[in-house]
């Protein structure tokens, strides 16, 4: 079981026996395992070298004690995980190099068509797992992978990959959608909101884009194009950047903490929806309060921002990092 991290089956058997006994002499271990004395001594030497058995003193027949496995085996496990991660990244890069080579020699490989929600989810996961610099998203209603299912984003953020996402306003009206966005922002995602997005889009490291081909209303399996380095990809990147400049930022908690007065959690959610242009009735539904409560809270926020108009509140909320 532990061969993958450097422990042979015979060594593991001996170590487990010593752990169960807590303390034992060489002869006792040989008897319990039904193994020759010299064989047990050799295995004990190997376990000592791996930091799993306490070194003995001058008495060769002194009782033996096991050491905790966490540190020596944990370090080996981390090394194994790191090697696997590097291998996965290398395979992903090789696959991209292969596709790039095919595209250079055959224009038919410039755009790859992926059909089916499952195949599309796997491709998005593969691309995010291989991301090293930045992932861009234009997000409306999900094509194949709802926000809560995209655990790859949090893994990528943890290893230093930058995420920028633009959300269509209508998406924030879905139950739980705002909480999902806030979870991503807390993890480090840079999020903005726009009234309407012309396309759903994912771009990884500026080299590969995934873009849906068939609108949901047409029915059937989702179909998307995977686009490699080309002028078409350059056009999609320019499209993203132009909409990023127009979209309304959703600040991180750290941004808000530097501005003095801080809206509480409910106020921050209300402001996010308000600045995104969501109607009062829909805000009330999202927050589980009455429309009158929403209007009262907005009035309180206007007073805190020292403005007397809703456009003024939107401007001050963005300027002060309240959202």
Read off φ and ψ for residue 203, nearest 5 degrees. -130, 130
> How many beta carbons lie within 10 A of that of residue 272, not counting itself?
27
The whole-number pLDDT of residue 258 equals 45
Instruction: Specify whether the CB–CB gap between 181 and 248 falls below 8 A.
Output: no
What is the C-alpha to C-alpha distance for residues 255 and 259, in angstroms, rounded to an integer?
Answer: 7
The whole-number pLDDT of residue 103 equals 53
Per-residue pLDDT, averaged over 2-13, amounts to 74
- Answer with the residue of higher pLDDT: 217 or 110: 110
Per-residue pLDDT, averaged over 245-255, amounts to 66
Per-residue pLDDT, averaged over 11-18, amounts to 82
**Helices 310-319 and 265-275: crossing angle, nearest 10°?**
120
The region of weakest confidence among 48-57, 126-135, 248-257, 307-316 is: 248-257
Q: Which residues pair with 112 in a beta bridge?
A: 226
% of the chain residues with pLDDT over 70 = 79
**Does pTM top 0.85 for this prediction?**
no
What is the C-alpha to C-alpha distance for residues 172 and 223, in angstroms, rounded to an integer?
Answer: 24
Position 314 pLDDT exceeds 60 = yes
- Answer with the residue of higher pLDDT: 246 or 99: 246
Position 154 pLDDT exceeds 80 = yes
The whole-number pLDDT of residue 256 equals 46
Per DSSP, which regions of 222-281 are E strands?
Answer: 223-227, 248-250
Going by their DSSP bridges, the two strands 162-168 and 134-139 should be labelled as parallel
Pick the closest to residue 239 from 181, 184, 194 (CA basis). 194
Sorting pLDDT into bands at 50, 70 and 90, what band is 133? very high
CA 4 to chain centre: 26
Sorting pLDDT into bands at 50, 70 and 90, what band is 279? confident
- Answer with the residue of higher pLDDT: 245 or 221: 245
Q: How far is the CA of 301 from the CAs of 179, 226, 261, 286, in angstroms?
A: 21, 45, 11, 18
Sorting pLDDT into bands at 50, 70 and 90, what band is 163? very high
Mean pLDDT computed over every residue of the chain = 79
CA 306 to chain centre: 39
- The SS3 of residue 212 is strand
Residue-wise pLDDT for 53-96, tens only, equals: 876 666 667 788 777 776 666 676 667 777 777 777 777 777 77
The whole-number pLDDT of residue 259 equals 47
What is the C-alpha to C-alpha distance for residues 6 and 78, in angstroms, rounded to an integer?
Answer: 12
Sketch out the chain's domains with CATH numbers. 3-67 (1.10.10.10), 110-250 (3.30.870.10), 253-319 (1.10.10.10)
Buried-state track 100-112, b at ≥16 Cβ within 10 A, e below 16 = eeebeeeeeebbb
Sorting pLDDT into bands at 50, 70 and 90, what band is 310? confident
Position 162 pLDDT exceeds 90 = yes
Position 257 pLDDT exceeds 60 = no
């Amino acid at each position: 079981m532990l061969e993958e991290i450097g422990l042979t089956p015979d060594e593991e058997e001996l170590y487990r026996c010593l752990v169960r006994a807590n303390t034992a002499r060489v002869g006792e271990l040989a008897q319990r395992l039904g193994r020759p004395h010299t064989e047990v001594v050799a295995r004990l030497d190997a376990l000592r070298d791996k930091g799993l058995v306490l070194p003995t003193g001058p008495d060769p027949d002194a009782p033996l004690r096991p050491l905790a496995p966490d540190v020596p085996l944990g370090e080996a496990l981390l090394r194994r995980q790191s090697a696997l991660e590097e291998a996965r990244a290398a395979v992903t890069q090789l696959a991209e190099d292969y596709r790039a080579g095919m595209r250079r020699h055959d224009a038919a490989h410039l755009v790859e068509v992926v059909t089916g929600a499952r195949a599309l989810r796997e491709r998005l996961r593969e691309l995010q797992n291989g991301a090293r610099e930045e992932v861009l998203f234009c997000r409306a209603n999900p094509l194949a992978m709802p926000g809560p299912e995209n655990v790859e984003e949090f893994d990528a953020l943890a290893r230093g990959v930058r995420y920028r996402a633009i959300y269509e306003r209508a998406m924030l009206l879905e139950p739980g959608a705002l909480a999902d966005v806030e979870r991503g922002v807390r993890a480090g995602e840079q999020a903005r909101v726009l009234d309407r997005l012309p396309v759903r889009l994912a771009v990884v490291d500026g080299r590969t884009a995934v873009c849906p081909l068939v609108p949901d209303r047409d029915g059937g399996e989702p179909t998307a194009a995977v686009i490699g380095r080309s002028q078409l990809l350059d056009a999609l990147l320019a499209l993203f950047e132009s909409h990023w400049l127009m979209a309304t930022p959703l600040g991180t908690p750290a941004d808000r903490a530097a501005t003095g007065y801080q809206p509480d959690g409910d106020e921050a959610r209300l402001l996010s929806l308000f600045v995104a242009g969501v109607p009062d009735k829909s805000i009330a539904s999202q927050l589980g309060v009455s429309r009158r409560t929403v209007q009262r809270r907005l009035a309180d926020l206007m007073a805190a921002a020292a403005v007397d108009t809703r456009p003024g509140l939107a401007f001050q909320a963005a300027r002060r990092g309240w959202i």
